[in-house]
Structure formats: structure tokens, C-alpha cells
Structure 1
Amino acid sequence: MRKNGFTLVEAIVVIAILLILGGLLTPIVSSQLQNKKIEVTEEKLKKIKKAIIGDPSVVQFGQRTDFGYVGDVGVLPDWNGNGSVDIVDLYSLVVRPPHVNPWNYDATSGLWSGWRGPYLDPTQYPDGRYESLLDGWGRDFIPEQPSGIAMRIRSYGPDGVSGTCGNDDICIDIFYDEIQAFVQGNTWDECGTGLAFSGIRVYYPRNGTILNYTVNPAGALFFTTCTTATCRTFPIGVRKIMADLNGNGVYGEASANEPNHFIVISNGPAVSLNLKRLGNCTSGSP
């Protein structure tokens, strides 16, 4: 008659079977965990890019309205304000950099600019790092600036060693055309006749301060901020453009019905527009 329980041989057989099954399942489970970490990393990279340049699909009354950090501040994240790419630059998305002004209004241009984050989840670990800026393996995302690309954000992937994007590293790129554009166009009267102008002035933010850039091709009908000599681009977002058609150095002069418009710079390389002086026909009735 057999006693209750396993014999030593049976126990050894069961243990052997479990070890074999464990050996078979371990690579599968490990692969699933790695795939999950890759998915988390890819999703975080998309969120970081959206925090930097906004979401082009967010539209109101036919115009894009979400421009992210670049739209608000006027530059890519740059924690130290030194123009070089550092690992801490992405911190600008969760904490206001010391050299960037908070969200503020500029009465001259009628524009708002400055930091109004956080643009990402600001949850912080005891070691000072931010959860939203760590990849699926708990390592810092690395910002870079390779030739021809405004910013690349890299995860070293499963092996934690720098490699090739799309192979063992996971990367996302931000292109120049996604963050800036030059401005060009024509000046007209209300009847559609071209008007010569003395200057065109564009207002835009940089580190939360509104600056302006003026084009002065006196007597021209077509204006552009990009020539063979110099090409001035402006960050995406709502900007202000004014014209001086009288040649008196006053831009957007209300008494002369000079153009004084808000414009939306959504992406590059160029934004084309027509500036119209109202109530001033030079060629008869419209």
C-alpha cells in the first residue's frame, strides 16, 4: 500500500520538469519585458517631442494653436542658456530655466511669451531625476544636435551603450522645418495693387523676451527675411508683423491703416502672406 506524498524519485522528476519549463519560459518573459520597456521609451520620446514643438493637429478656427516650449519661449530647451547641447537641457520642460522669463505680456507687440510649463509630468525621484525624462530602463534621455537636425533625443536602448538609431538605440528627431520658418510676401492696397514699402518688422520671442527683426528694402513690392546674404527665421507660434509704408519709421501706423497683423508660423521652410493697407486704393474702387 502506497503512503501519501511523493517519493524521492517523483519529487526529483517534478523539480526537473519545473526547471526545464522555467528555462523555456525565461527567455519569453524576458523578451516581453524588454518589448514593454521599448514601448514605454518610444511613447515617452513622442511626449517629449510634443512638449517641445506642440501638437500640429490641435487646430481652432482653421489655425494651429499648440506650439509647445518652442512656441512659448522661442528657442529649443537650453537649460544653461549657452547654446550648446547638454544632458540637462530637457529639464527645461519641467522646471523654468533661470535665464528664461516666466509667461508675460509685451504691450508693444501685443504678444505673450515665456515659460508656462511644466510641459511634461514633473514627478521627481529622490535622486533629483524626473520620471518623464527617463527611458524604459530608468536611464536619462540624451539630447544631441547632429548635422542638419535641430535636436535628436536618444535612448541607449536595452544594452545601455551608444549605438545606431533604429538599430540598438531608440531616437526621435526634431527637424528645423518643424520649429522655424522665414517670412515672405507682398504688400497691397485694398484694390489689389502692389504698394512699395519702406520696411517690414516681425516680432518674435527669445527666452521669454519679445524681440523684433526689420527688413528694409525701400521701394520694393515683395519682402522676404531670407536672402542669399542672410536668412532670418522665426520660431513657430503666433507672431506679429507690421509694415511701414509711409517711410516715416513708424510701423503699423493706425492713422495710415498700415498692416499690423498677428500671423501664425506653423512650420517651415517659409510662411507666405499678403499685407494689405485698408482704405487706400491707388487704382480706383475695389
Structure 2
Amino acid sequence: MTQPPTATPRTPPRRPQQGMTLLELLVVIALMSVVGFMALSQVGDDLNQARYEDTRNRLEMIRKAIIGDTSRTLNGQPEIRGFVADMGRLPANLQELIEREFCSNPVLGQAACTGAETWTSMPAYAHDATAGLWAGWNGPYLNASPESDYPRFRDGWGNDNGSNDFGWVFNDSGGAGPLLVQSTGMDGTAGGSDYDADYPPTGSETLIEDGQWRVTVTDSLGAGGIQIDFGAPASCWRCSDGLSTDRTTCEFSDDWYPDSTIPDAAACTALGGAAWRPTDNLCLRLLRRQNGTFDTNGDSTVDTADALESNGAVSVTWDGSRKVETFVFASGTFVPQGVSLVRVYTHDGVATCETTEFPSGQDSLAVALIPGVATLPLPWPVQ
């Protein structure tokens, strides 16, 4: 049987494709330009904001490099670290946080640092055998960008004016504080608005207040001081030689000590070499770091002459009660944060803090002085 022929499907006729008119093309180009501009503007704003945030973060890094972060603890104690804790002062410029030795013209080495230029060389971190503590430059305290001539720590905008402060505005108020640090913004010049504005704004550029890097021992009105807790020594004091009846005579060669086994004045005075409820005139010395050393007077030795002395004599009568005495220093006595040393000495009762330790042979006491943290009475047992 013959199949009927199959019909071939007809291809529909092509419609002519119309192109964009010139007007439509111009509209599309304009829209793409607007979208592109908006995208670039957003990218630019995001980049500027990132640099602003980086500047703010770098200021915080500078602050912690100088005074550390005492909110952190180590073995339950505030962590004491940073430039001030090591050197006993504020840095004179930002380069001191990066290099121990450098020239005031940072591109010059020591040999070429002559004439109007100044070579800075800070004491290296070392153990002082007399003080029993460490002091000196223990940096770098900031992670600077390594560069071909010298390392730098710029702000988030990359400003650099070729100085020891790398383009930051830096003012340590002559070393006394407060410390002011400021970025000059995107344009690198003072003033301006938006991202060109200085940060922090002028008038609020204080990075470290006086009370954040040093401790007030005695304020400008003469108030305050350091408290020493002597405990409650017995009322009867004896000399180990069995003869002397006062500390001065006894301690030339023997020990003067409280004897808690003697119950009353009669029993005490009946003994040879004893005194009932004697009185001692005492003073306190405080040894602190200054410019990276405990040798604050520069005579190459660390001794009582390097320490701060309390004012006058504190008279203590040993009557068996607990004795917590306050030793006041000269008005306006401040000590940089860190670990310092205190030691009690005898006083002549007139004008001189003597060099005889009280009690005889007593070691110095290391005390952590931290701004904003109250110093409790320091234990000084004499039993």
C-alpha cells in the first residue's frame, strides 16, 4: 500500500530585528555611568572609612605601647608592661617606641648624626643587682613597617613628614604629661572636614592623661602617702647582747627585737638589756625608675641617695597595738607606673632620714604602683 506524501513543515518567515536608536543607546550609557559612579563612590567611601578606623586602632596601639593594659591579668595580678613601666617616663617621640638608638634626622646613622642633629641612646633592658629589678628599653613596643631607610608607624592615611613622629602630631608636654597624639587626616594638614579633619579633633586629642601613666604618692596639697603595716609587735623590746636598753646602742653589733613572752613592764625592766614600750622615729624611702635606670642621680651607683624620702619623722611607740603608719612625701610627688621599691629606715628625729634599716637587715619590698588602683597598707613585720 502506497503511503501518501508527507508535507514538509514550512519555516516561518524571519522578522527583521530592529537595532537601538541613538537615543536609547545614550540612555543606556548614561544609566551605566550613573551605576558605575555610584559603585566607585561607595568603594571610595568604604576605603576612606577603613583608613579612618585604622587610624583609630593605631592610636590605641600607641596608648598600649606606652602604658600597657592593666585590665589584663597575669597570675591574678594586673599585667604591668609598656614603655613607662620599663623606662619610668613618657616617650619623647614615637620613634622611641620602635628603636632604642636613632638620630633626630631618622635617615642618618650615628656617625652622620652631628651638628644640629641629636643622637638618642636609651639604656638597654638590664637587671639591677642592687635594686633586684629590671629596667631599661625593652622594645620595640610597636610593630612598625620595615622600610629601606628606617621603620615607620604611620597613621591609617599613610602620612609621613620625615620626623621622629612619622607624620603624627605628638606632644608629651615636656615629659610631664598629658600626652597628646593626633592624626592630620586624609589630606595630611591641620584642620579640614569629613575625612580631611584631624583625629581626634583638636581639644580632645589627649591620648594619655597624667593619672594614667603615673601614681600620685602625695598630691599638691600634701595629702596622701604610703601606708606601712607594722603589725602588732610586743611591748617589751630586748637586745641580744643582754645589756643594751635602746636600739641605737644595741644594733651596732646585735639584734634589737620585740619579745612577746614578757607579760608586763615590771618583768621587762627587770631584764638586762630590755625596754618597755620604746619609741622609734622612722622614715621611708622609695626607689623608682627614671629614664631607664634606678641610678636617678647619675653617680653610677644605686643607693639611698637615688630614692625619694618621706617628710620628717614618723614617731611610733610600740605598745602592743597594731601600728599602720602613713609616710607622707613632698607635695606633688608622682611615681611612674611599674614596680618600685620601698624600705623603712630610722630617723634622727630632727631632720635626717638615716641609712639604718628598720628593723636591722630588713630587705626592700617590691610594690606594684598602678594608676587608678589603690595601694593597700604594705606589710612590714617586725616580730
TM range (shorter): 0.7 to 0.9
How does 1:210-221 map onto structure 2 within 5 Å? 210=294, 211=296, 212-220=307-315, 221=325
Q: Give 1:137's match in structure 2, choosing from 150, 153, 157.
A: 157
The alignment yields a C-alpha RMSD, in angstroms, of 3.3
1:85 corresponding residue in structure 2: none
1:186 aligns with 2:227: yes
2:354 corresponding residue in structure 1: 249
Q: Give 2:208's match in structure 1, choosing from 169, 174, 187.
A: 174
1:106 corresponding residue in structure 2: 128
Structure 2 distance, partners of 1:215, 1:165, is 52
1:277 aligns with 2:381: yes
How does 1:1-286 map onto structure 2 within 5 Å? 1-2=16-17, 11-78=25-92, 89-97=93-101, 98-126=120-148, 128-130=150-152, 133-139=153-159, 140-145=167-172, 149-163=177-191, 168-171=197-200, 173-183=207-217, 184-191=225-232, 196-210=280-294, 211=296, 212-220=307-315, 221-227=325-331, 231-245=332-346, 249-250=354-355, 252=357, 256=360, 258=362, 260-268=364-372, 271=375, 273-279=377-383
Against the structure 1 CA distance between its residues 149 and 246, is the aligned structure 2 distance closer, same or farther, given a 3 Å change threshold? Answer: closer
Against the structure 1 CA distance between its residues 196 and 217, is the aligned structure 2 distance closer, same or farther, given a 3 Å change threshold? Answer: farther
Corresponding letter in the other structure for 1:249: E
- Whether contact under 8 Å (1:55, 1:66) holds in the other structure is yes
Task: Tell me by how many angstroms 1:39 deviates.
Answer: 0.6
| 1:109-135 CA distance string (max 9 Å, x none) | 1111000111111332235351xx211
- Whether contact under 8 Å (2:88, 2:288) holds in the other structure is yes
| 1:146-202 CA distance string (max 9 Å, x none) | 699510110112343323999932235101111111332334433179x75432111
Aligned residues: 262
- Whether contact under 8 Å (1:189, 1:277) holds in the other structure is yes
Where do 5+ consecutive residues of structure 2 fail to align?
1-15, 102-119, 160-166, 201-205, 218-224, 235-278, 297-306, 316-324
Corresponding letter in the other structure for 1:214: E
Greater C-alpha radius of gyration: 2
Where do 5+ consecutive residues of structure 1 fail to align?
79-88, 280-286
Against the structure 1 CA distance between its residues 155 and 165, is the aligned structure 2 distance closer, same or farther, given a 3 Å change threshold? Answer: farther
Task: Tell me by how many angstroms 1:259 deviates.
Answer: 6.2
Q: TM-score, normalised by structure 1?
A: 0.78
- Whether contact under 8 Å (2:341, 2:365) holds in the other structure is yes
Structure 2 distance, partners of 1:165, 1:259, is 59
Pick which of 91-100 and 233-242 moved more: 91-100
Task: Tell me by how many angstroms 1:95 deviates.
Answer: 0.4
Corresponding letter in the other structure for 1:243: V
2:180 match: secondary structure: strand
> What percentage of residue pairs aligned between the two structures are identical?
27
Structure 2 distance, partners of 1:197, 1:36, is 63
Corresponding letter in the other structure for 2:181: I
